[in-house]
Amino acid sequence: MKVFADKLENALASSLPAAVIVAGDEPLQHMEACDAVREAVRRDGIEEREVLHVEANFAWGRLTESAASMSLFASRKLIELRLSGKPGQEGAKALKEYADGMANSDNVLLIASPRLDYREQKAAWFKALDKAGLFVPVWPVDASRLHYWLRDRASRHNLGLDLDAARVLGERTEGNLLAADQELQKLALLLPPGARVSPQQVTGGVEDSARFDVFTLLDACLKGERSRVSRIMSGLRGEGVEPPIVLWALTRELRLLLSLQQHLDQGQSLEHACKAQKPPIFDKRRPAYQQALKRLPMKRLHKLLLFAQRLDLAIKGAGSIPLWDGLHDLALTLAGGRGPLAELPSSYRIGA
């Protein structure tokens, strides 16, 4: 059964499941979800814990041995399986066998995993464990809701954070919830209990710890968040992300938008067009694509794709476009704005 991280403690309070899968790439929420499971296990009287790190050449027989072995002091234990990637065929078989035998065991299995894609969630091992336990998907907090998350988080540290202060803090820690929580802890040490934190206090006392990746950039482009696109591009450049990676991501998104537009031009619905993609676009992301398609007709998308090809030539040393300015221009135009190349000669610009 799927349970989101903010509802996990309530779910564990009602009953202790035989298995919990915590999967995702957001470190803070992932860590706290696993901690919540460990605390629930201790409350239920289980003191013994065995940790198995699944790395290359891991012997999956160890999982079966751990489940079958009993200590001298306890009949139940927490088995913590830490995956570094997909379990593979051998791992999938071992996990399915474990799930089939859970009815005869009092142990609790905690699987800590990176994000599991929709294919893994359809695998037999996953379905068997999910049916008997809990699946906790850990997603990064969306930028549009980050200030609400920060406001609620501040209350844990006995601080009041109004939305303006939360927005400033969000801009400085986006993509890095660990840093956001650490900054709140610092403010809690500096200010009296129950203090209201102002935007000026955040500006003066919080370092810029925002972390971005190309997928965050694509999300901002699709939603038309132009100022955020510029901030993310600056962050990617400052973090040393290679231009080919940024171009690959933007080009991939352009081709996806062109494919969607072609389906729509054939009279298909957006839902059908999204399902026809490989992999399909899920419901949560469809509104962002719908926004982008409304402001980017087919002709504009083709111009952007041609400009992306010129940037590819520049990366290979066969063009003279200022590379990061060109990438910024491409991303900002995808978001509905005009980039820095608008001030340069027309030969550099999109559509020239």
Q: What are phi and psi for residue 136, nearest 5 degrees? A: -115, 95
Q: What are phi and psi for residue 351, nearest 5 degrees? A: 85, -5
Question: What's the pLDDT at 341?
Answer: 57
What's the CATH number where 156 sits? Answer: 1.10.8.60
Domain that holds residue 116: 5-138
Q: How many folded domains does the chain comprise?
A: 3
CA gap 89, 352 in Å, rounded: 51
CA gap 21, 134 in Å, rounded: 6
Three-state DSSP class for residue 107: coil
| Angle between helix 243-265 and 286-295 (nearest 10) | 80
Q: What is the mean pLDDT of the chain?
A: 87
Dihedral sign computed on CA atoms, order 282, 285, 291, 293: negative
Same domain, 168 and 184: yes
Question: What's the pLDDT at 322?
Answer: 86
% of the chain with per-residue pLDDT over 70: 94
Same domain, 159 and 228: no
* Among the ranges given (93-107, 238-252, 292-306), the one the predictor scored with the smallest mean pLDDT: 93-107
Same domain, 148 and 122: no
Same domain, 102 and 177: no
Tens digits of residue pLDDT in 13-22: 888 899 999 9
Strands (E) in the chain, as ranges, are 19-24, 48-54, 77-83, 108-113, 134-138, 160-161, 196-197
Pick the last residue of a domain from 138, 161, 191: 138
Bridge partners (DSSP) of residue 109 are 19, 79
Tens digits of residue pLDDT in 65-109: 888 876 656 678 899 999 988 898 999 999 999 888 876 778 899
Using the predicted structure, report yes or no on whether residue 331 has a pLDDT greater than 90. Answer: yes
Residue ranges of the alpha helices (H) in 157-297?
163-173, 177-190, 199-205, 214-223, 226-238, 243-265, 270-275, 286-295
Same domain, 57 and 9: yes
Q: What are phi and psi for residue 100, nearest 5 degrees? A: -65, -25
CA gap 119, 115 in Å, rounded: 11
Could you tell me the two tokens for 237?
């450049």
Question: What's the pLDDT at 332?
Answer: 92
